[in-house]
Amino acid sequence: MSALYGTYARSGLAFERGEGMRLYDQHGREYLDFHSGVAVNALGHGDPHLVGALKAAADKVWHTANTFTIPEQERLARRLVDATFADAVFFTNSGAEALECAIKTARHHFFAKGQPDRYEIIAFTGSFHGRTLGTIAAAGNPDYLEGFGPPVPGFKHAHPGDLEAVKALITPQTCAILIEPVQGEGGATAMSNEFLQGLRALCDAHGMLLILDEVQCGFGRTGRFFAFEWAGITPDIVAVAKAIGGGFPLGACLARGEVAASMVPGTHGSTYGGNPLASAVGNAVLDRILAPGFIEHVEAMGQRLAWHLQQLAQKYPEQVLELRGKGLLAGIRIAPPVRDVVTRLRDDHGLLAMSAGDNVLRLLPPLIVTEADIEEAIGRIGAVFEAIGTGSTAAATAE
Ligand SMILES: *Cc1c(COP(=O)(O)O)cnc(C)c1O
């Protein structure tokens, strides 16, 4: 009997070591990782550059506090600013905290401009922004709000893709629009360029801020550093986490200078955010992701994955209902229960994949994936579809 909270339906599987795309369990069995600890292990397992950076940092000062200067954190922020739209960065330990900072930054920006009533944010159904009280209210998923008292006020929700519905929700109180350019948990759903451009235009027309949650889709995963780049838009605030630390807990809120300007001493803080260990690893991750050719590799592998998924869809039309996602955040909406497919892939075929909303099989390989890995994964998924057979959806056991 575990002494842990029962918040996860955990598998008994425990991994002992990892190397690149592969993980090994306590019995030495090998698994191909198309899960990446939920899009975190962007550089796979045991990357020597990351391991070296963490070991070197461990020999120095582990922790001070954000009231002192942390040189590695300064350097990471400068590099993120130089590489992106942002002028200022606040570091956190997680995605939800990065979103909390994004929401507070947007609200405080208008407070400082003498508009304290302008705090409402328009967000979207099917989104996921984390598990804090603020972020469950922001996402508005009733399953995650139930039982936790009154939701934090100030969030309204529209259906993603429906620009008219967004327009209808705008009031003088609206301060921002918050969206994942590619919904992860919700079902690997990519927003169209036109929709994101439409949101940007609405924000411009109404003096609102555009906040993007790139915790899952950012940091290279779609074949661009940020997923919003595909739409050619510039956001005001972006929340990142997951891949930014490559497995070390780290997140960040990036903002344009004018937007971040009101976040003065006393408005926000974090004991650990961007501490020396996290920042050292963050810099090492950035070394790899910004290296010439890295993002181009991700884009190419995203295209190969999409091509192989199309072949799979043609071969198994009974099982594959729809292909979704962008780059290496790919989804297959399937007919058989996705939990059963995920379990079979893991236990019978040694492939780690994930589920997402809408009965979607979600593939999130480390960004170092090769086409040979992709072919291997697609082969294993095909084998599960073969085993399940046609028309036997009901026979697949629901967990
Ligand atoms: C995972 C995730 C979060 C929350 O990140 P945590 O580190 O679990 O707090 C927020 N937004 C998106 C899009 C995510 O995928």
Average pLDDT on 7-23 reads 96
- What is the per-residue DSSP string for 106-147? HHHHHHHTT-TT--EEEEETT----SSHHHHHHH--HHHHTT
Instruction: With H, G, I as helix, E, B as strand and everything else as coil, classify residue 9.
Output: coil
Structural domain contains residue 285:
yes
- What is the per-residue DSSP string for 269-313? --SSTT-HHHHHHHHHHHHHHTSTTHHHHHHHHHHHHHHHHHHHH
Domain boundary residue, one of 244, 268, 289: 289
The overall pTM is greater than 0.95: yes
Query: Is residue 390 pLDDT above 70, yes or no?
Result: no
Q: Are 120 and 175 in contact (CB under 8 A)?
A: yes
For residue 394, the model assigns a pLDDT of 45
State which residues form the domain around 369.
Answer: 15-47+293-398
Average pLDDT on 296-311 reads 98
Ligand 1 atom nearest to 216, measured from its CA: 15
Is the Cβ atom of 119 under 6 angstroms away from ligand 1? no
For residue 1, the model assigns a pLDDT of 80
With the most atoms of ligand 1 within 8 angstroms of its CB, the residue from 94, 101, 215 to mutate is 215
* Helices of type H across the chain: 36-39, 48-58, 71-83, 95-112, 133-139, 142-145, 163-169, 193-206, 257-260, 276-289, 294-315, 338-349, 371-388
241 with 277, same domain: the answer is yes
148 catalytic residue (yes or no): no
Catalytic residue among 213, 236, 340, 373: 213
Structural domain contains residue 9:
no
262 with 156, same domain: the answer is yes
Site of tokens 């579809």: 385
122 with 234, same domain: the answer is yes
40 with 55, same domain: the answer is no
With the most atoms of ligand 1 within 8 angstroms of its CB, the residue from 129, 135, 182, 272 to mutate is 129
DSSP letter, residue 392: -
261 with 169, same domain: the answer is yes
Domain boundary residue, one of 266, 289, 312: 289
Give the strand pairing for 209-213 and 237-240: parallel
180 is in an annotated binding site: no
| 308-352 pLDDT, tens digit each | 999 999 999 999 999 999 999 999 999 999 999 999 999 999 999
Q: At 20, which CATH number?
A: 3.90.1150.10
| 110-144 pLDDT, tens digit each | 999 999 999 999 999 999 999 999 999 999 999 99
Give the strand pairing for 351-352 and 30-33: parallel
Distance between CA atoms of residues 57 and 279, nearest Å: 9
Based on the structure, what is the number of domains in the chain? 2
Domain boundary residue, one of 265, 289, 313: 289
Please name which of 186, 241, 118 lies closest in space to residue 355, comparing C-alpha atoms.
Answer: 186
Distance between CA atoms of residues 226 and 212, nearest Å: 10
Distance between CA atoms of residues 224 and 219, nearest Å: 8
* Ligand 1 center–CA 184 separation, angstroms: 9
Distance between CA atoms of residues 330 and 302, nearest Å: 8
Average pLDDT on 173-180 reads 98
263 with 310, same domain: the answer is no
Query: Is residue 3 pLDDT above 80, yes or no?
Result: yes
Query: Is residue 399 pLDDT above 60, yes or no?
Result: no
Ligand 1 atom nearest to 94, measured from its CA: 7
Structural domain contains residue 7:
no
Please name which of 196, 204, 185 lies closest in space to residue 230, comparing C-alpha atoms.
Answer: 196
More confident residue, 188 or 398: 188
The gap between the terminal CA atoms of the chain, to the nearest Å, is 20
Catalytic residue among 33, 242, 294, 340: 242
